[in-house]
Amino acid sequence: MQDSAQFGDCVQKLLNDFKLYDKAVDIVSCWQFLFTEVEQYSKNVLLFDRFPRLSSPSTPKDQPKTPDFAVLLSDEYGIVADIKSGFPLDDKGFLSHAGRLLKYDLPLSFKTGVDSRSVIPSDHDILLVIPMRDAQEIVRRIEKFRAAGDLRIDRNLIAFEWVWDSDQNEYVFRKVAGQTCDFRDASLPANIRLSSIFTERGASLKVSPDKIKSIKAAWQFCNDTPPPIYTLVFLWTKVFYHLLDAGQRQLWRRRDPRKVLWIEVSTERLVEEIVRRYPIRWGHWTDWARAALDVLVSAGLARKIAEDKYTVGYRNLVRELGEPTHGATGTEVTSHPREYARILATYICRATGGELTQEAPATDERSQGELFRR
């Protein structure tokens, strides 16, 4: 008999994996909103790159750098951003973690958004986005190690803290106090200088979910590998329905969660469907889809019939959610991804006895009216 504590831990781990990645997607979307939809920036910024792959002329044989996002504000100035959930407590681990930022401390080639043209700006800064709970301590230790010469970063490293304000229903981002570095954006027009807005004025960036709704609908992933449960929710809510034939769709609309509709699919066909429906996204879709399908197999919700070929047991989970996810014509309407994650996690953990056979990608260690307002 399955141990209830083990089952509960299994479900909670999958939900934590989902929420951590989903939060990263939200954070990237907030900054994308700033640089692409706020007028003063949208008229000036050359490109917000949600899935950057930045090469360096200093290390041409190395793999491209993949920060969480990159922004080319002019031919002379850019920003690369790294989102971290925390840093290790011990000094050795902290320095090792901080040392990962050194890969951005090189001249980097930014996309310009004009055909395949790229540019290496004269200056680019490194933006570190961290949770407010540990932000002051992280900045204090970074400043200490830099002063001692243990952490050498030539480019400016600017830390921003973020927090979810549940009272105001918005994300809040502000520059962490006590830093010696600032944005080197003097070459930019005065009204878009981040140094002026966030340092001199001490303003915060506040973004509510409704402001990033359209961005997140179009860009549901970020530049990190998602945990399989996250990809699975995406496939279940956005893709599998469109692989049903006309007869299966009629059965699906009866909303019977016990009715299994088998879909034979290869990872190649699945990737083709994803790219066709969501052409503006970039991702390692084959690897991501395969990882999600393998989890379905371990949960008994799919069968692997050959290498990269599966039969998926798709079903309508509407009654477990309380509202439809597709209209009569298949048009997508409101869905609750975290609720889908909970339901699918329950199926997975029930089938596996609470023992996960696939680990989510490693995540950072944990420790410690106007858009701009004070």
Is the pLDDT at 360 greater than 70, yes or no?
no
Kindly state the average pLDDT of the residues 23-41: 97
State how far the Cα of 260 lies from the Cα of 314, in Å rounded to an integer: 6
pLDDT digit string (tens) for 150-197? Answer: 999 999 999 999 999 999 999 999 999 989 899 999 999 999 999 999
d(CA 84, CA 24): 9
| Predicted confidence (pLDDT) at residue 329 exceeds the cutoff of 50 | no
pLDDT at 373 exceeding the cut of 70 = no
Looking at the chain, the number of H-run helices and the number of E-run strands are 12, 13
Q: What is the pLDDT of residue 355?
A: 63
Question: In this structure, how many other beta carbons lie within 10 angstroms of the beta carbon of residue 93?
Answer: 13
Q: What is the domain partition of the chain in residue ranges?
A: 21-217, 225-352
- pLDDT at 154 (0 to 100): 94
Q: Is the pLDDT of residue 255 over 50?
A: yes
- Per-residue model confidence (pLDDT) at position 323: 55
pLDDT for residue 140 is more than 80: yes
358 pLDDT tier (thresholds 50, 70, 90): very low
Higher pLDDT, 318 or 299: 299
pLDDT of residue 364: 40
Number of C-beta neighbours around residue 58 at 10 A? 10
Name the pLDDT band for 326 (thresholds 50, 70, 90).
low
Confidence of residue 30 (pLDDT cuts 50, 70, 90): very high
- The pTM of the full predicted model, rounded to 2 decimals, is 0.88
> What is the identity of the amino acid at 364?
D
Helix, coil or strand: residue 288: helix
Q: What is the pLDDT of residue 361?
A: 40
pLDDT band at 284 (very low <50, low <70, confident <90, very high): confident
Whether 125 has a pLDDT exceeding 90, the answer reads: yes
Nearest to 78 by CA among 199, 203, 188, 224: 188
How does strand 69-74 pair with strand 47-49?
A: antiparallel
Per-residue burial over 303-322, b = 16 or more CB atoms within 10 Å of its CB, e = otherwise = eeeeebebebebbbbbeebe
337 contacts 237 by C-beta, under 8 angstroms: yes
Q: How far apart are CA 342 and CA 338, in angstroms?
A: 6
pLDDT tens-digit map of 59-86: 888 999 999 999 999 999 999 999 999 9
Q: What is the pLDDT of residues 198-231, one digit of tens each?
A: 999 999 999 999 999 999 988 889 999 999 999 9
Structure tokens at 163: 């927090």
Task: Kindly list the distances between the CA atom of residue 369 and the CA atoms of 150, 164, 181, 305, in Å, as whole numbers in the listed order.
Answer: 43, 17, 29, 56
| Whole-number pLDDT of residue 333 | 42
**What percent of the chain has a predicted confidence (pLDDT) above 90?**
74
Determine what percent of the chain is predicted with pLDDT higher than 70.
89
Q: What is the mean pLDDT of the chain?
A: 88
Phi, psi of 40 (to 5 degrees): -60, -30
